[in-house]
Amino acid sequence: MKLSELTAYKDIAVQCHNFPDADTIACGYAVYKYLLFHGINAKLFYSGPKKITKANMLIMIKELDIPVEYITELDHTPELLVTVDCTYGESNVQHFDAKNIAVIDHHICKREMPPMNEVRSNYGSCSTIIYKMLLDEGFDIAGDIKLSTALYYGLYTDTNSFSEISHAADKDLRDFAKFDPSLITILKNSVLSCEEMGIAAEALNGCVYLNDIGTAIVEAKPCDPNILGFISDLLLQVDTVSDCVVFCRTGFGYKLSVRSCTNQINASEFVKYITENIGNGGGHADKAGGMITDSSSGIPVPELIRQKIISYFEDTDIYHAADDNHITGMSPYIKLSVTIGYIPSLEIVPEGTEILIRMLEADTTLRASSDTYLMVGISGEVYPINKNVFEQKYVPCDELPDMDQEYPPAVIDSINNIRIPLADRIKGCTAAGGAKILAKQLTRYTKVFTLWDPEHYLYGRPGDYLAMSANDSKDIYIVRRNIFEKTYMPAE
């Protein structure tokens, strides 16, 4: 959906979820401002059993002049009702009749959606979705410090002070919003109430320590999600705890905060495992967060979380490449010659400029030089390559690579702080095919600590491939299923 589709209507109401948080209020404000810019005076509101009382929310609304109203009924049925950071019909959104519905949300929802919807469940905040939708309309938030501050704070609070950010689009909002720093400082320091500190204390008293696997589990009473991050950061400092999962019920289901201080467990992938098919999650190797929004299995969610934590340890095979791994059942495959992308770094920025490469899952930095080329793989992953190595391994071609990208890669010029999309600059090249490997499809979750990076593991899910160099049985690694199937074929 595009935001401009909303402007076909003139009588519009924008609804935030019940018990509003900063993200839903920021999103409502952004849609309100966008519509106002197009001459439409929308009604911005929230409903539910209770008016906002939290200090940070009251300050945000007052200082940013957000015209949000608390209502229990609408005086007429609007032509269009837009729900932001929530989905029409869900239990955390008070029901109002409307002639047409639009939904903008980042929570996974299995309900049937109205035709007008924009749901990106792997974004850390709904504010990020609206930020990107506004950019797509050429509506630059940089000129509106109040709106920028609102969206920035919406992302900040939904990602546990940015520590649980995973998506590249979230990083764009974090890095490019021109916010009001003194207001953000005030908001950051008025987020918890004395009651919530009591909830933290009570939750810590109820902590379950699974000493054989080094995991601590805590269920807190419903509270501000910031409390979860606070508890999990504290728990990780316990000598016997190497990872922890802290969660509480919210209006949407359950919110989780996960931490790890061991290289055996990547917190982001751990929370993705726990929430797989019932919610969403992500973040970094050490800090991550998630939501469980579907509790239709019949098992109470706290019990489900405990079961998933146990099965995560039981269902995973671990290989250390340096050990002798007697892997059986592998078959020979041949590498195909496929078209991928490349760009000489000097075609993006002048010599010597430090650039940050932003792709879906990670940022990397490098300095532009005549020797440095960027390669763009079939999943949109970007990595640097030395010009000489490039010329030995690849041949430029006229064809352009066929890439399906959820986040088209961009580089950020660190000196000027500008974002440069790469899509139009990518050229095609082909690698010589014919290399042989051995591989087998995984039936279990698998971690591989490779020879070249024993500190971090590669993670494979059932369906992905475990691969081994044909002439070195210690050179083992994981290839994701979609990449494997595009780049290898069974050898005769």
Interacting residues toward Mn ion by CB under 5 A? 23, 85, 126, 158
Radius of gyration for the alpha carbons in the chain, expressed in angstroms and rounded:
24
Which of 258, 277, 316 minimizes the C-alpha distance to 478?
Answer: 316
| Cβ nearer to Mn ion, comparing 252 with 445 | 252
C-beta closer to Mn ion: residue 157 or 353:
157
User: Minimum distance from CB of 142 to Mn ion (Å)?
Assistant: 23
How many angstroms separate the most distant Cα atoms in the chain?
Answer: 75
Choose between 47 and 280: whose C-beta lies nearer to Mn ion.
280
Q: By C-beta, is 293 or 446 nearer to Mn ion? A: 293
Terminal alpha carbon distance of the chain: 47
Tokens found for residue 236: 């990780």
Cβ 89 to Mn ion shortest distance, Å: 17
Minimum separation from the CB atom of position 173 to Mn ion (A): 13
Cβ proximity to Mn ion: between 85 and 196 the closer is 85
CB of 260 to Mn ion, least distance (A): 24
Cβ nearer to Mn ion, comparing 26 with 378 = 26
DSSP string, 201-264: HHHHHT-EEETTTTEEEEEPPS--HHHHHHHHHHHTTSTT-SEEEEEEEETTEEEEEEEE-STT
Reduce the DSSP state of residue 179 to 3 states and report it: coil
Sheet holding 354-358, edge to edge: 363-367, 354-358, 410-413, 418-421
Pairing of strands 12-16, 80-84: parallel
Rounded-to-integer distance, Cα 325 and Cα 472, Å = 12
106, 89 contact by CB (below 8 A): no
DSSP string computed for 72-93: SS-SS--SEEEEESS-TTSTTS
DSSP letter, residue 42: -
| HEC profile of 284-310 | CCCEEEEEECCCCCCCCHHHHHHHHHH
Least CB distance to Mn ion at residue 21 (A): 6
Instruction: Determine contact, residues 412/419, Cβ cutoff 8 Å.
Output: yes
CB of 157 to Mn ion, least distance (A): 8
> Cα 148 from chain centroid?
20
Which residue has its beta carbon closest to Mn ion?
23
Distance of closest approach, residue 27 Cβ to Mn ion, in angstroms: 8
d(CA 448, CA 459): 7
**Residue located via tokens 């299923």:** 481
**Residue 126 vs 217, nearer CB to Mn ion:** 126
Q: How far is the CB of 98 from Mn ion (least distance, A)?
A: 21
Q: Which amino acid is at 404?
A: D
Closest to Mn ion by CB, 114 vs 251, is 251
- Beta carbon nearer to Mn ion, 254 or 459: 254
Q: How far is the CB of 378 from Mn ion (least distance, A)?
A: 32
